Amino acid sequence: MNNTTPPGHPASQEAAARLGDTVQEVYARGIADQRDRLLASTPVILALFDGTGGRLLLHTPGRPPVQAPPVPDSYRLLKDLAHAPVAAFRLAASPGLSTPETRPRLTGTLIRASAGLVSAGIGPEEARAGRALLNLCLRLLAEPDGGPHAQQERTARFARACAPLLLHLVEKAAAVQVGHWAWVLDDWQERLGGSFDGVYAAANTLYVTRTKNVLFTVLAQYLGEEVIGERLFLFETPEFTTTPDRMLDLLTRIVADREIGRAFFGHGRVMDVELMGDATRTALREEMARRGRKAVLPTKAPYDSHQWPWATDPTNGTGPSTLTAVRADH
């Protein structure tokens, strides 16, 4: 008598679901244990985007986490000034966005900001650039909309006029932000001494800020290019902001998965990527060939590449670049 349940049968589906749930439960417990072990043995720096220049936290074994002092207020003002023409441009370029309340409210905010620059805590050069930028915004908002062609020309002139002022303010804001975090990391590096050489660090980013990411780039100056992808990570998150707990969970998963990679395949970083990736490439080639098409696939970089912030160059790094090669070496 055959007691095998046919595939697709409700009992088979239920058994598979139970197996998956049980495996995930065990895995989650393992991650929690790994997190405790990581924080008990290794310094960890978390760099979180927060809209005001960032937030850095230092976890040191045996001590409560330390949050660094925030970026000076002048950074936020300079950045907000640089953002002002974007808002004005949007309202002028898209009349549908302008309601009886929005344009007067933005105009009033720009006027008050311009008047307050004298005592805002930024240098006279930055204050002049900021006031000039706000005046350009006010003039744009005061002009009648006109027809689509006139509107397009007006907003184009406005953007060109704003660009050098905007870039000047961005440069000043970057100097404040980078100078602050360099000061913080100087202090933490001295405080940690030799243990800084083993620190793990991670910054979070939204898709649009992943390249040239400020916090990640600052961290790279102190940890070194050779640890990118090894102990220094850039986590892409679905929102601009995230929580320290979420960052720690992501970091812990990487560390825990690398233990699994070493045990099963002889190379920890095979678990940094989609494990089915190599098999998927083979399957895609076969599927596309059956359709008379060439598979569109990226080049492969070694697992231990230190490219920033993602690995695509096969000449950067050493060692195997496919799961098959890793298994052959194991």
Percentage of the residues of the chain whose pLDDT score is greater than 90: 55
How many domains does the chain fold into? 2
Domain that holds residue 96: 73-171
φ, ψ dihedrals at 5, nearest 5°: -80, 130
Residue 143 lies in a domain: yes
For the chain, how many helices (H) and strands (E)? 9, 5
Which H or E run includes 18? helix 10-41
Residue 186 within any structural domain of the chain: no
Q: Please, are residues 200 and 228 in contact by the beta-carbon 8 Å criterion?
A: no
Residue 308 within any structural domain of the chain: yes
Name residues of the chain where pLDDT drops below 70: 1-12, 98, 308-313, 316, 322-330
Q: What pLDDT score was predicted for residue 312?
A: 46
With H, G, I as helix, E, B as strand and everything else as coil, classify residue 305.
Answer: coil
The predicted pLDDT at position 120 comes to 74
pLDDT in tens, 126-178: 999 999 999 999 999 888 777 777 788 889 999 999 988 988 999 999 999 99
Residue 187: the pLDDT is 98
Cα of 299 vs its chain's centroid, Å: 23
Nearest 5 degrees, angle CA 256-CA 261-CA 265?
A: 165
Residues 234 and 160 grouped into a single domain: no
Q: What is the pLDDT of residue 10?
A: 66
284 plus 267 within the same structural domain: yes
Answer whether residue 248 is part of any domain: yes
What's the pLDDT at 131? 94
Do the domain assignments include residue 191?
Answer: no
Task: Tell me if 12 is assigned to some domain.
Answer: no
Residues 316 and 207 in one domain: yes
Within this chain, do residues 212 and 255 fall inside the same structural domain, yes or no?
yes
User: 65 with 203, same domain?
Assistant: yes
Helix (H, G, I), strand (E, B) or coil at 243: coil
Residue 13 lies in a domain: no
